[in-house]
Amino acid sequence: QHEATTINVSGDYVALKKQFILTIQDNGTGISPANRQKVFTPFFTTRRENGGTGLGLGIIASLLNHWQAEIRLGESEQGALFELVFQLAEHD
């Protein structure tokens, strides 16, 4: 259904915000505008008939929140793009 054949992972340090952003993007069909607001909602899935439970992104969002981090759905012309944003600790 998603038809992705490639996954790209990259990381960037944003010094002014003291953040590390991990970007994950595939080259599949992407996420429809109607589903963009739902992807982190527990039990939301477009793949139920294929065994999808809709728990994956909700669990990831909860884990990241526990670590004072977040996951965001980014804008992409092709495929899905997610950003994992980690706030870095201050060091003396």
Residues 60-80 have pLDDT tens digits of 999 999 999 999 999 998 899
Distance CA 2, CA 88 (A): 33
Distance CA 19, CA 47 (A): 33
The per-residue pLDDT for 9 is 98
Domain ranges of the chain: 1-35+71-82
Cα 67 to Cα 7, 29, 39, 51, 54: the distances in Å are 25, 30, 20, 29, 22
Distance CA 71, CA 80 (A): 13
The per-residue pLDDT for 49 is 83
Look at 40 and 54; give whichever has higher pLDDT.
40
The pTM (predicted TM-score) of the whole model is: 0.85
Residues 12-44 have pLDDT tens digits of 999 999 999 999 999 998 999 999 999 998 888
Residue 66 CB neighbours (<10 A): 8
